[in-house]
A and B are shown apart, each in its own frame.
Chain A
Amino acid sequence: MTFLEFVEGPAWYVAITIFTIGVLWRFLGIIAIGRRTDMSAPKGSASAGFVKAIFRHFLPRTIFAERTRVHILGGYSFHLGLFILLFFAAPHVVFIKAHILGFGWPALPRWAFIIAAQAAFAGLILLWVRRICDPVMRQISDWDDHVGTILTFLVMLTGCLALQESVEALRALHMLFVNIWLIYFPFSRLMHAFTFILSRGYTGATYGHRGIVP
């Protein structure tokens, strides 16, 4: 078995299993902690608030956006870029078809995918550099933030190194980091990719009940 076969075979299946079970466990684990039912007389709908808040917090309020526009720019270019290249890069579509879903969808042309990758890289570097330079982010960051950022950066970087799509070793390296990243994911702050729904939703529900969505 070559190294590539290992990281795309057994290692990949172990990683994706840990990822899936871990994410579900943690996500459901949070819900299972439970919360008190609000007994005060409602002034609005909690469930509507749950949904509204999820969408409301995608857009920053103008008064705060003015202060943190660089952050918002970096955040959005990173996340949008990452989603585009994760789901619409030709090699990823092929991989998803072969290893996960069994079906694929039209992929982006190479140049569009590279532009998305550049946006993602620019955003990630910007956010990380800011994490180091900004006294506030420095104060509240812990090792998990840096490990998560660096791992994600390495996954993206090795993916970018393998862009010629002809060198097996580079593809294997990319897959290796993908596997590490997947295993690390459920134990780390990367979980925010899923928990943001709960976080925004619970606040939305609490205040939706009071007739306002913060």
Chain B
Amino acid sequence: MGHKTFSHAKLTLNSNQLSQGIAGVFLFMAAFLMLGSLVFPTNAKASSVRPPANATINALPENSSPQPAPKATGGFVPGNTLGNRSQTSFWKSVRDGAIGTRDTMQAFPSPLIQSQGQDWRYLRNNYISRYGGWLLIGVTGLIALFYLIRGRIKIKSGRSGAVIPRFSLTQRVVHWFTAVLFILLSISGLILLFGKHLFIPLIGKTAFGVVASASMQSHNLFGPLFIIATLTMFFVFLKGNGFKLVDLKWALKGGGFFGGHASSHRYNFGEKAWFWWAIILGITLSLSGLILEFPWLVGTNMWPLLAGLAHGGAALLMIAFAIGHIYIGTVGMEGSLEGMTRGSVDENWAREHHDLWYQEHNKEATGDHPPAKAQAATSKG
């Protein structure tokens, strides 16, 4: 009966929780940035691709013909009319993206040159695509290594047979709805980012063109649904995801790998980190994705360029974390998947991984109300 009605409390945004959450996110991001500064070179600025300041050559060629220059005007056209001298500053402004007009049908503004595209290309091809690729390979490798060393994390005391409810039907439906979209979007997105390097050598340009066309169309179609999924997920899973002191202890103990047992509430530090990671990156992906799908929403070309970078970067970071999430949710740990499929987990699993939550759960169950035990799934017929 405990999970019979959907409590409105889950929907209300507790300011305390939110501030905890945001504080946790800042901590988390700071840690990430520090890590990033070690990995990435510091001179990541794109200035090196810009042409040198003297790119427009305005000097006489070395071996110019000996014919005499017409001295009569001395380079000046009488009357100070157009074109009487070269204006370096003028052309520099053009090079920096000065906006001119175009007189087709009606005059409308148009730049002659935009250099941001160069930076975009550089960052995309050299950082996002290269390091992003290594990130995914690295994470997968680390997890594989972890699996080889540690193996599957078993329920130490074995299964008790009794189960307690963990995720409501709403939570499960929202989770899997998001998961389906996430998988569709990451596959199509990764094809667009890496397919050129991975598949063209294997299947050729024509076949890959088909795959890429399909990927882009589906990516654009499913994208907006992911926005809805992310927002719903935020509200449905917010409760219990605020950072607490015990999470710091958990993190320092590495989730219990050193320093003994790491206590946690309903969600441990890793789960909370994943929640905020997914929400913040999800919102980044949503906003940047919207700009990419509807470029007319923003005036200049600058926004889609930034959006493109943010989209790719955020997606790779999210996929990297998701690989870990999927691992620990399936093969990595005994008894964790059923929380999201059947909605209930074994009591011993809860005691070993979420002891504080387990205690709270039992405390709530007073004499009048025995601890809610979910119905063990009946399989019949």
Contact = CB atoms under 8 A, between A and B. Distances in A.
Interface of A: 70, 114, 117-118, 121-122, 125-126, 129-130, 132-135, 139, 157, 160-164, 166-167, 169-170
A160 B217 contact: yes
15 contacts: A118-B221, A121-B225, A126-B173, A126-B177, A129-B176, A130-B169, A133-B176, A133-B341, A135-B342, A139-B380, A157-B218, A161-B218, A163-B217, A164-B216, A166-B213
Nearest to A122: B225
A137 to B, nearest CB: 10
A183 B57 CA distance: 70
B221 A163 contact: yes
Interface in B166-220: 169-170, 172-173, 176-177, 180-181, 209-210, 213-214, 216-218, 220
Chain A, interface SS category: helix
A160 B173 CA distance: 24
Given A125-B180, A130-B173, A133-B169, A164 B221 contact: no
A160 B222 CA distance: 9
A117 B342 contact: no
B228 interface: yes
Contact of B214 (A114, A130, A132, A161): A161
Contact of B221 (A114, A133, A139): A114
B221 A135 contact: no
A106 B75 CA distance: 66
A132 B343 CA distance: 11
B221 A70 contact: no
B377 interface: yes
B222 A121 contact: yes
Contact of A162 (B172, B214, B375, B381): B214
How many chain B residues sit at the interface, stated as a range, is 20 to 34
Given A122-B225, A122-B228, A125-B181, A70 B217 contact: no
Given A121-B225, A129-B173, A135-B377, A167 B343 contact: no
Given A169-B210, A170-B210, A134 B169 contact: yes
A135 B344 CA distance: 11
B224 interface: yes
Chain B, interface SS category: helix
B173 A70 contact: yes
Nearest to B224: A118
A133 B172 contact: yes
A133 B218 contact: no
Interface string B241-274: 0000000000000000000000000000000000
A160 B209 CA distance: 16
A162 B180 CA distance: 20
Contacts of B225: 118, 121-122, 125
Interface string B339-352: 00111000000000
Contacts of A118: 221-222, 224-225
A68 to B, nearest CB: 11
Contacts of B378: 139
Nearest to A161: B214
Nearest to A135: B377
Contacts of A129: 173, 176-177, 180
B220 to A, nearest CB: 8
Contact of A160 (B169, B218, B224): B218
Nearest to B381: A139
Contacts of B180: 125, 129
Given A129-B173, A160-B217, A163-B218, 10 more contacts: A121-B221, A126-B173, A133-B341, A135-B377, A139-B381, A162-B214, A163-B220, A164-B213, A164-B217, A170-B214
Contacts of B173: 70, 126, 129-130, 133-134
A170 B216 CA distance: 13
B222 to A, nearest CB: 7
Nearest to A128: B180
Contact of B176 (A132, A162, A170): A132
A135 B380 CA distance: 12
A52 to B, nearest CB: 33
A116 to B, nearest CB: 11
